[in-house]
Amino acid sequence: MPARLSTRISIRWGDDEASEPTETLVMSVGGYFMDLRVVKADNSVDWAFAGTRDIVARQPKLHCRWHHVIDSHNTFAPDEGFFTDLPNGDSLETGSMACMEKGGAVTDYEEIWRALPTEGLRAWILKREDAETNNITFLGRVGSEFFAMVQKRGGGPLTVQREVLEEDKWVVKYQSGGAALPSLVNSGLSALTNEVTWKQGDEADVQGEKYTVCSTESSS
């Protein structure tokens, strides 16, 4: 299954009206994911998290479970959802999870997701665990989108940056938090060195630091 970029079209909690208060983008590469949700009204982070994804079952519906290795909500219990293909090509996800707008009460939800076009470039997610600082860093790229996220193991403030490749030049699309993160903006490169040859389990050098290649695929 090729790597995917997905955006959320709407969310509905219980019997509430469907709405979309965020700009949400999810990278899925192999068994790993990175998810960034930014509130449209004030540009704050609604939720940012990254980790691993399991396919629990494919029939009668696709059933996925996500394990949060880092999470801006500092909630690390797995969450899961069930997917149904819609006639227009979108996907309907159903399940239940804690709803912050309802005081954290576990609430049924429906989300509509849409796959975004990618440019056929190599896609990957990398991870670095630093024993000295206790930081966990995820980096991800699918097509022209790049994410970087870092948080201490076990929780705390999460720093995130999103960069977009425009006309062979990376530009910062979004940034939140004060921790240092690798950036492609000042690299002068449209791709990281040797990224097209990376395989799962390889060690990758990113701006002088060693990362593990968690997953890598074609994005088309």
CATH number at residue 192: 2.40.128.310
Q: Which domain holds residue 53?
A: 4-115
Same domain, 182 and 94: no
Same domain, 71 and 134: no
Confidence at 190, pLDDT banded by 50, 70, 90: confident
Same domain, 80 and 140: no
Least confident residue range of 13-27, 80-94, 190-204: 190-204
State how far the Cα of 179 lies from the Cα of 175, in Å rounded to an integer: 11
Same domain, 78 and 58: yes
Burial of 62 (0-12, 13-18, 19+ CB in 10 A): middle
State how far the Cα of 193 lies from the Cα of 120, in Å rounded to an integer: 18
Mean pLDDT computed over 103-126? 90
User: 220 versus 93: which is more confidently predicted?
Assistant: 93
**Listed ranges 23-27, 168-172, 191-195, 196-200; the one with the highest mean pLDDT:** 23-27
Same domain, 74 and 165: no
Same domain, 14 and 103: yes
The tokens 């996220």 sit on which residue? 149
Give, as one character, the DSSP assignment of residue 165. Answer: E
Mean pLDDT computed over 85-110? 94
Boundary residue ending a domain (115, 147, 176): 115
Bridge partners (DSSP) listed for residue 76:
none
Same domain, 82 and 135: no
Q: Which two tokens stand for residue 58?
A: 């494919």
What is the number of structural domains in the chain?
2
Peptide bond into 21 cis (omega under 30): no
The tokens 């940012």 sit on which residue? 48
Same domain, 101 and 200: no
Q: Is the pLDDT of residue 187 over 90?
A: no
Confidence at 68, pLDDT banded by 50, 70, 90: very high
The tokens 């002088």 sit on which residue? 208
Boundary residue ending a domain (88, 115, 142): 115
> What percentage of the chain exceeds 90 in pLDDT?
85
pTM of model > 0.75: yes
Same domain, 111 and 8: yes
Boundary residue ending a domain (89, 115, 141): 115
Q: Which two tokens stand for residue 92?
A: 């309907």
Mean pLDDT computed over 18-36? 97
Bridge partners (DSSP) listed for residue 54:
65
Given CA atoms 186, 72, 29, 197 in this order, what sign does their dihedral have? positive
Long-range contacts of 201-210 (CB under 8 A, 24+ apart): 204/126, 206/126, 206/139, 206/182, 207/182, 209/128, 209/182, 210/128
State how far the Cα of 152 lies from the Cα of 146, in Å rounded to an integer: 21
Mean pLDDT of the chain: 94
Same domain, 139 and 36: no
Mean pLDDT computed over 54-80? 95
- The pLDDT of residue 217 is 86
- The pLDDT of residue 218 is 65
State how far the Cα of 27 lies from the Cα of 134, in Å rounded to an integer: 24
> What percentage of the chain exceeds 70 in pLDDT?
97
